[in-house]
Amino acid sequence: MEAAILGLEKSGKSTLLRALAGPRTGAHGQERVSSLHLPDPRLDALARLFRPQKVTYPELVLHDLPPWPLQGRTPGGEVSEALARADALLLVLRAFSRDDVPHPLGRVDPEADYRTISLELAYHDLAVLERRLERLEKVARTGPPAEREAAHREAAALARARQSLEAERPLREEELSAEERKALSPYGLLTLKPLLAVLNVDEGSAARAPALAEGFQDRYGGRRTAFAALCAQAEAELRELPPEEAATFRSELGLPDDPVPNLMRRLLTVTGLVTFYTVVGHECRAWLLPEGATAVDAAGRVHSDMARGFIRAEVVPWDALLAAGSLAEAKSRGLVRSEGKGYRVRDGDVLHILFHT
Ligand SMILES: Nc1nc2c(ncn2[C@@H]2O[C@H](COP(=O)(O)OP(=O)(O)OP(=O)(O)O)[C@@H](O)[C@H]2O)c(=O)[nH]1
Ligand SMILES: [Mg+2]
């Protein structure tokens, strides 16, 4: 999956990229795009049990964007391209105070920044919708008769989206019909994308980070809107150390447990992705799939031949498999179910797909 990191000037975007992807990336004009493996403690546990030669984590591509332009100005070409590709937005909200790093609006107030950016994203989408609606309304009035009906329907969907935005409801939180979703999908609408906002706190406030994130979650959270909090600076510095040294420093500095795996999990959840696992021969692997996808979709993620020749899937939740200690033992305890094509894959399922070639 891909995510774009955005936020106001000097909110800590490049520092967050380094905290997530490691020291070779981000900040000071270095790489703006970075790809990393999504950490997954469940896959780690499965790998400890099965000891495969290879453990494969899903990939996350992160784009570190330049500061978000305020006053309704839209970002330039390269940035809109990264935004269009992104499955989700990672919004950095500055909650750290530092006199030598001026805030572009002259004060540190993550809640006000959240509202400011939310409005900017809504303005962006409104401008896109207005332009498209003008054209569609013209086609609906004067276009070839065959196109009028479709233009009418599309215009109706876009007008409803405009109404939501005018009422300050981001599109990601709206219940959209399949037709509306399809009508809105070509325009790179930013409030339609799942959003994980990361509150970037001071070193000294790291212990209070989870409570801060929860407060925002209560006030502004939703199915496709989530909040997390960490000290990006401290996490970026710890990532430069070998793991044992980092753990020692972490406890000496009174920092909470590594917040990155939790942040990644929230990113997947808010994006509407579930993780399933395969244990085949010498490889344990985690795969991402949209919520609601079926066993045959999962087979297709692994290989198109497996979807084509799909017979059935043997399914066991990862923790049940772990507790049983082996697939054979899980089977003899009756924990492994046999499921057909239409089975909706659940987060944490281990799938063994049977297919004919
Ligand atoms: N104390 C403290 N400083 C931080 C933290 N995060 C970032 N900074 C500092 O804030 C400054 C800006 O951080 P960057 O990561 O470059 O911010 P940015 O959002 O990428 O900045 P632009 O790309 O210029 O908009 C740097 O000097 C960082 O060291 C933090 O959690 N705590
Ligand atoms: Mg930067």
- Assess whether 136 and 213 both reside in one domain: no
- Of 30-34, 60-64, 254-258, 278-282, which gets the smallest average pLDDT? 30-34
Total domains in the fold of the chain: 3
Beta strands in the chain (DSSP E): 2-7, 33-37, 54-56, 59-64, 88-95, 195-201, 225-230, 273-280, 283-290, 310-317, 337-339, 349-355
- Assess whether 96 and 238 both reside in one domain: yes
CB atoms within 5 A of ion ligand 2 belong to: 13-14
Distance 17 CA to ligand 2 centre (A): 9
Of 5, 13, 15, 92, which is best to mutate to test ligand 1, by the most ligand atoms within 8 angstroms of its C-beta? 15
Q: Is the CB of 98 under 6 A from ligand 1?
A: yes
Interval 202-231 mean pLDDT: 93
Domain that holds residue 304: 292-355
State the CATH number of the domain containing residue 220: 3.40.50.300
pLDDT value for 31: 64
Among the bound ligands, the one closest to the CA of 31: 2
End residue of a domain, out of 270, 301, 328: 270
Q: Is the CB of 12 under 6 A from ligand 1?
A: yes
Higher confidence at residue 75 or residue 264? 264
The token pair at 80 is 């809109």
Q: Is the CB of 108 under 6 A from ligand 1?
A: no
State the Cα–Cα distance between residues 212 and 56, nearest whole angstrom. 34
- Assess whether 100 and 234 both reside in one domain: yes
Among the bound ligands, the one closest to the CA of 9: 1
- Assess whether 161 and 90 both reside in one domain: no
CA 182 to chain centre: 20
The three-class DSSP label of residue 356 is coil
Interval 108-123 mean pLDDT: 94
Percent of the chain with pLDDT over 70: 97
Higher confidence at residue 81 or residue 173? 173
Q: Is the CB of 309 under 6 A from ligand 1?
A: no
Residue nearest to atom 24 of ligand 1 (CA): 10
Residue nearest to atom 25 of ligand 1 (CA): 9
Residue 350 lies in a domain: yes
Distance 65 CA to ligand 2 centre (A): 7
- Assess whether 239 and 351 both reside in one domain: no
Q: Report residue 74's pLDDT band, with 50, 70 and 90 as the boundaries.
A: confident
Residue 250 lies in a domain: yes
End residue of a domain, out of 270, 301, 318: 270
